[in-house]
Amino acid sequence: MPGFELAGLDLAVIAAYALGIVAIGFWVGRGTKSSDDFFLAGRGMIWPLVGFSLVVTNFSGTQFLGS
């Protein structure tokens, strides 16, 4: 198996990507004040969306592919 090396530019791109994802997470989550806001969308979701999210959460990748 050939050797695997990362150049400085590769590491810089990986670090910038990781920092960007963290920054976006903090920016999007700035309005979340409690765990109810995070898990229940501030109780602002209508019931069909809650039901759909519960059903889709239980699906796996193989169910989406129709095995």
* Other Cβ atoms closer than 10 A to 65: 7
Chain centroid to Cα 6, Å, comes to: 26
Tens-digit pLDDT string for the chain (67 aa): 578 888 999 999 999 999 999 999 889 878 777 776 666 666 777 888 888 887 877 777 666 676 5
Contacts with 3 (C-beta within 8 Å, 6 or more apart), sequence order: none
Find the angle CA(44)-CA(45)-CA(49) to the nearest 5 degrees.
180
Helix or strand run (H / E) with residue 60: none
